[in-house]
């Protein structure tokens, strides 16, 4: 085999290994299921990339969209609204953090928040290792209002990029 062909083959193999490692352990593809995150993410249509190392050295930020694994059979995607150590409450159609009304991103502010579920009807105090999550489609979503706080250890990572369909390609916010 000629040196140039050998170099191309070696380069292709390295690129393949890099792509495998990237898509297996760093940026993992994930298909959205259900309508709880609409209009941000569309169930059975959108495929996103989950950054598994987004929270390796830091906690999530308010309004990050995250992948959650609550059990081997239960994965979901939600938006972080309450951070470790905070008190969260849904009252009068608004999100209250530590007694003050939170300024919501447009996707959550388009309709009043529904205070459904056992944990959505009163104040919830988050421990140092917990977050409170909501779906963008509040009426449809099963989230922390039903499950309660989510341990940080259940976060698979941050949803960072929509890769499919191509017409919706881009950063997820």
40 CB burial (10 A radius; 0-12, 13-18, 19+): buried
Question: What is the model's pLDDT at position 72?
Answer: 82
- What does the block give as tokens for 9? 């083959």
Q: 13 in a domain, yes or no?
A: no
Question: What is the model's pLDDT at position 95?
Answer: 95
The domain tally of the chain equals 1
CATH code, domain carrying 86: 2.10.109.10
Question: What is the model's pLDDT at position 70?
Answer: 85
pTM: 0.84
Q: 165 in a domain, yes or no?
A: yes
> What letter does residue 61 receive in the DSSP assignment?
P
Average confidence (pLDDT) per 10 residues, the chain, 173 residues = 65 55 68 91 91 88 95 90 97 95 91 90 95 92 95 94 90 90
Query: 102 CB contacts (<8 Å, ≥6 apart)?
Result: 62, 81, 94, 95, 96
Q: 34 in a domain, yes or no?
A: yes
Q: 8 in a domain, yes or no?
A: no
Q: 133 in a domain, yes or no?
A: yes
Question: What is the model's pLDDT at position 2?
Answer: 76
Question: What is the model's pLDDT at position 20?
Answer: 54
Question: What is the model's pLDDT at position 90?
Answer: 95
Question: What is the model's pLDDT at position 12?
Answer: 61
Question: What is the model's pLDDT at position 19?
Answer: 52
Question: What is the model's pLDDT at position 9?
Answer: 61
Question: What is the model's pLDDT at position 10?
Answer: 55
């Amino acid at each position: 085999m000629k040196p140039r062909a050998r170099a191309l083959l070696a380069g292709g193999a390295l690129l393949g290994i890099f792509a495998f490692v990237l898509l297996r352990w760093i940026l993992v593809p994930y298909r959205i299921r259900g309508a709880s995150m609409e209009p941000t993410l569309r169930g059975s249509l959108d495929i996103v990339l989950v950054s598994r190392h987004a929270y390796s050295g830091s906690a999530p930020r308010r309004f990050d969209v995250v992948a959650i694994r609550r059990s081997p059979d239960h994965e979901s995607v939600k938006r972080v609204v309450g951070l470790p150590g905070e008190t969260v409450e849904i009252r009068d159609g608004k999100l209250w953090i530590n007694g003050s009304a939170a300024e919501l991103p447009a996707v959550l502010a388009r309709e009043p928040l529904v205070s459904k579920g056992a944990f959505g009807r009163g104040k919830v105090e988050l421990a140092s290792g917990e977050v409170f999550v909501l779906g963008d489609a509040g009426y449809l979503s099963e989230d922390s209002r039903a499950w309660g706080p989510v341990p940080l250890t259940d976060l698979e990572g941050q949803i960072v990029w929509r890769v499919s369909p191509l017409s919706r390609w881009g950063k997820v916010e």
